[in-house]
Structure 1
Amino acid sequence: MNQEPLISVVTVCFNSINTVERTFKSILNQTYSNIEYIVVDGKSTDGTVELIKEYEDYFKKRNIIFKWKSEKDNGIYDAMNKGLEMTTGELVGIINSDDYYEESALEIISTEYLKDSSYDVYHGLLNYYNSGKLSMIKGGDSSVLTQHMIEHPTCFLKKKTYEKHGFFNCNYKYVADYELLCRVKKHGGKFKLIDKVIANFYDGGAGDCLESVIEALKFRYEYGFINKKSMIIKYIKIFLGRKIFR
């Protein structure tokens, strides 16, 4: 393998006029060239659709394959699944409309893939912003999945991996990305951690809410990562902690 793989990137958005332009620019500014970019909008009414149309020409001038749609969906993971169905690349990344890639992100992923294409998931480090300020650089190998999610904005899965293991399970409202990666891991999927910053994440999204924390806890119990006693204890600590820090 010596030809640069086509890398598909999916962004889902809804009324994201204040943040999605930064995401678009991070795709346009990539040092990598063989890109397919897919935007799935949830029928925005704030000008996001008009911005997508405006950027369509910029992507075409950059020779980026660009596809988009705007229609009602049944939540963020349903929208992501719609985007996945539209991808044709060998590798697929998902970046949300309030996050963005480092300029060398896709080049880094491609380089690692060309070195060894046997992995199912290629992922790296994440700049984590809290209240607009860089608070930490996060990154862990797939062994941490028994405790918590790895950095999904940095993850690139082979299209064949999605075809083998399936898309996001929309029965989960907040942790379908976590469930998917655990599903891949459970069935022998290989993960490659790259010791470089791939993406930038801003807190305050759905993944930070109490409901998300609880769903992740229940999921860990369902997958056998923790027993029922541990789940109950952690559940109580979550509520006590929320009460104390209000």
Structure 2
Amino acid sequence: IAFFMIISLQALVSRAFANWAAPCYIAAIIWLSHTLCAHGRKHLLIISIVVNLLTMVVVYHYEALYKQVGIPISKRTDLMRATRGWPELGRFVTNIMELNDEAILLVDERKVLVELIYYAGPKARDGQIFNGNRVMKNHFHLTQDLDQLTGRSFIWVTRANNIAPYQDYFHSIDKLLCYEPSPHDRFCAYKFEYFTGYYYNERQPLYCNTTSRCCYYFDGKGPLSKCFMDNMCKNRGWD
């Protein structure tokens, strides 16, 4: 009960997923089974077990059942859609990372990074999540800081079709390949060259000192706040 109340409280004040309360179900099954037997309703327990076994069989063999009744497997009807294609995507990303050994994996979804860490091997274990809004929503947001990787290149793997919002954060963006790991999913890989940093893009306008050849940002609240390397001035065309 205590654990269930903790998860319920978290759901009220923030958010919680149903599976977080899974440990409660173990105790609940034991308690409910005892209660039904103690009150002479053992038949309800038997019915419950039979229904659960039948449900398990139906869900496990749903593709064969779909064929029998003529239901096409689509994005809306595929019960296993969320689990399909990850091994294939992992191999796709592994091949790209091997061809771009200096680059770091970059994604825009927590679930994608988690799956690739498992399926894409060692190169994906240092993968990063882009978090330009600085909103803390998951473990990776709390433990990663992409600003520590300014100047680095990345292999961006995404479902998104529009990458325009990210162009200001990198010197160049090249589209590599697109891949459909499953009939219902499509990912594209891009090479993002030279990450300029979140900080760099948060402050406007820009100012470049032609004497010291340093590029600065003015944050609107005080003096010029940051000096960048000479090569960044050149790459940006500020001479």
Q: What's the TM-score once normalised by structure 1's chain length?
A: 0.27
Larger radius of gyration: 2
Q: What's the TM-score once normalised by structure 2's chain length?
A: 0.27
Kindly indicate whether structure 1 or structure 2 has the higher relative contact order, using CA contacts under 8 Å at least 6 residues apart: 1
The structure where helix makes up a greater share of residues is 2
